[in-house]
């Protein structure tokens, strides 16, 4: 008995060739879609959270940011409590402004504050901060109509600090936002006052 001879592509019917072509085109389409989804748009970031828990910022002057919520006058805790005693040689950390994150393109929540010792300033996202994750997320401050990039978002949840450049007056910052640089798209924003 002889073994069957495999058929050549010319021996296949037009219907079989069409099916093979459709399967090949479909497989290539799925591969291209996967590369775009995971490589360019980074959709996997939407399903993960990057949590951070940074302590308060460290000032070059030796000033220490309070560890709890800061009241509107710059003191730790409730606004009626006295501020902790700080040696006179070390400047006091005050809140230049604060605001709450709101949804822009994605949900956002939590508190943003600008903390300063008079010589140096930080944007502080408190531990209640949360937004969606995404590709190429960065933090910006809006100062006199100019957008100032403060760096890569450290995490889409939790407390984190971003130093303001020395030439920026902390009281001139009107808002901070989290935006996707790759697609120039704002995720969440906090207006400061």
Confidence (pLDDT) at 26: 77
Q: Using 50, 70 and 90 to split pLDDT, how confident is the model at 117?
A: very high
pLDDT tens figures, 14-29? 888 888 878 788 777 7
* Residue among 93, 89, 111 nearest 102 (CA): 111
Confidence (pLDDT) at 173: 98
Q: Which residues of 140-152 are buried (b: 16+ CB within 10 A; e: fewer)?
A: bbbbeeeebebee
Top-ranked range on mean pLDDT: pick from 29-33, 59-63, 71-75? 59-63
What's the mean pLDDT in 93-116? 97
Confidence (pLDDT) at 7: 59
Mean pLDDT, the chain, as a whole number?
A: 84
**Which pTM value belongs to this model?**
0.70
pLDDT tens figures, 130-165? 999 999 999 999 999 999 999 999 999 999 999 999
């Amino acid at each position: 008995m002889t073994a069957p001879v495999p058929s050549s592509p010319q021996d296949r019917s037009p219907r079989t060739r069409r099916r093979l072509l459709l399967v090949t085109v479909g497989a290539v389409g799925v591969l291209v879609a996967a590369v775009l989804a995971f490589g360019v748009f980074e959709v996997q970031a939407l399903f993960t959270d990057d949590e951070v828990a940074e302590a308060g910022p460290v000032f070059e002057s030796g000033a220490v940011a309070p560890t709890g919520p800061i009241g509107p006058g710059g003191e730790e805790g409730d606004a009626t409590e006295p501020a902790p005693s700080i040696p006179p040689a070390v400047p006091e950390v005050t809140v230049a402004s604060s605001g709450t994150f709101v949804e822009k393109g994605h949900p956002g929540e939590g508190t943003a504050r600008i903390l300063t010792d008079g010589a140096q300033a930080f944007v502080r996202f408190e531990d209640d901060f949360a937004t969606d994750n995404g590709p190429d997320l960065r933090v910006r401050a809006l100062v006199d109509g100019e957008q100032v990039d403060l760096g890569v978002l450290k995490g889409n949840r939790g407390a984190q600090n971003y130093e303001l450049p020395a030439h920026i007056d902390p009281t001139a910052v009107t808002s901070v936002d989290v935006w996707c640089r790759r697609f120039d798209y704002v995720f969440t924003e906090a207006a400061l006052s």
